[in-house]
A and B are shown apart, each in its own frame.
Chain A
């Protein structure tokens, strides 16, 4: 059997580009260069520029592989210059999936902020795919302004799904916005799930992660039931280059999702 080179990016092309917000775009890749389970991530290569880690935002069961990405650094800036038909490379999948078996028969409480909704969408779609196994899915999502909400067209469709409950908030509203206004914690005052058994999954910017985790701990969620997406500098994706280490954990290999039980003794784990 040929040895697979873990550093080789599988060449593919961009099929479609879907603008989500002024700074966030969904890139749809051509074909299915890699398979993955919800929670795992991949390294995307912009040829000649370099690569960066992203978690797919599409369902693991979907035909297309999609990534919803915010323009923040060198690689993402180069990515935003690409057009449909342009070449791109993919390595992965890396990391551990969400333990979906452990979520069965339970209420699932998902909290997202900003572009952090991207991996949560993949998880959400995976849960919806087998929705009979789960008691109910709650999504609590916050964005800066109504303009910054990702998947604006999809959310109303998801709200129609049986056993799905979605609440949104924006930091600053505008004339068209009829929903809640305030940071994410304003829609976490009421926790409508059984905190003794429900898993809660969080992804968002570092400060949001910190305050949401505090709130969830206060609300009584068990430390080992609080699943947190860790954003770290990653290069190899396979636990060799050492960049993503948090305490004794390699986020690329042991994560990218760790539980609060894993990281609560680490000072400022989200930064």
Chain B
């Protein structure tokens, strides 16, 4: 494996260089949380790569909460922005992986997602300090990237230690080769130590694994367990909209001059009208059914297709829940 070291005093130069390709969004510490902020050369550059995934979800960059997908009757081209995501954590990469399978692998491909994906450079960062809400280790993910991103880096004493995953990533390294230096064996060892320590911390946070045969257990759940699990839920949908793997949307048409815009807006399966048909019939009229649909979707059906869970362990559903519902507790109960 080939490594490239970006010395600490070159990080800003790298970001500035990348910003010529499109807006760069990087993680910054603010009010105790890491946030995704847009790099602005006129403002202080205050990166924070040790903290957990940002509060903001990167799915907005690939599947915005509201985006135009077609214009008719004039078939105007829909453009996709060029953008760079810097410091993405491995849990959020799983979200992109899930989307890639749905929108690029499953036929037919979604050309709008594809264009956004191709125009986005993803640079991920190791996650050395997992928080209590994190559980990527329970859904088969390590706290460091192993694929999906174009480049990944580990923050070490002397700078950022990079490796490449894609051709796009290799080209970036080549383009900015003057900024990079050759790492030594000590740097690689430091990376190993950081990773090992992160894995151990995660194990300490989540000692108990989810049960074997989770997909089947979720499908065969008894009604009482569902009722208990959703008992405190206030149906705010924060868990759905903050989830990196939730992707449900609906198409809505709006008149715009002589043309009509077809807009894709996020939808959520907790809404009572989500699956209702024109005639009024509803396959999931009870909230218990809609609540559990989220679990079936992520842990049973997606798993049946792809043999991975559509859950990243990012913990946004836990930290955003005003009823303090912890998805881990629900799954451990099965």
Contacts and interface: CB of A to CB of B under 8 A. Distances in A.
A8 B283 contact: no
Interface string A218-239: 0000000000000111011011
Contact of B275 (A8, A48, A232): A232
B169 to A, nearest CB: 25
A8 B72 contact: yes
Interface stretch (A101-109, A128-136, A241-249): A241-249
Contacts of A271: 281-283
Interface in A200-215: 205-206
A7 B278 contact: no
Question: Quick one: which of A4, A11, A52, A235 has the most chain B CB within 10 A?
Answer: A235
Contacts of A87: 73
Interface stretch (B173-181, B250-258, B320-328): B250-258
A6 B260 contact: no
Contacts of B277: 73, 231-233
Given A47-B260, A235-B251, A240 B72 contact: no
Contacts of B280: 72-73
Given A75-B278, A233-B274, A238-B108, A7 B250 contact: no
Interface in A5-48: 5-9, 11, 45, 47-48
Interface size class of A (residues with CB under 8 A): 35 or more
B274 to A, nearest CB: 7
A3 B275 CA distance: 30
A66 interface: no
Interface in A53-105: 72-76, 87, 89
A7 B69 contact: yes
B247 A52 contact: no
A189 interface: no
Contacts of B279: 72-73, 205, 231
A242 to B, nearest CB: 4
B260 A239 contact: no
Nearest to B256: A48
B21 interface: no
B275 A73 contact: no
A205 B250 CA distance: 24
Interface string B63-103: 00000011011010010000000000000000000000011
B304 A9 contact: no
B116 interface: no
A6 B253 CA distance: 15
A48 B108 CA distance: 26
B263 to A, nearest CB: 10
- Enumerate the 4 nearest inter-chain pairs by beta-carbon distance, A residue then B residue, closest first: A73-B278, A11-B73, A7-B69, A8-B70
5 contacts: A5-B69, A48-B254, A73-B279, A236-B249, A268-B283
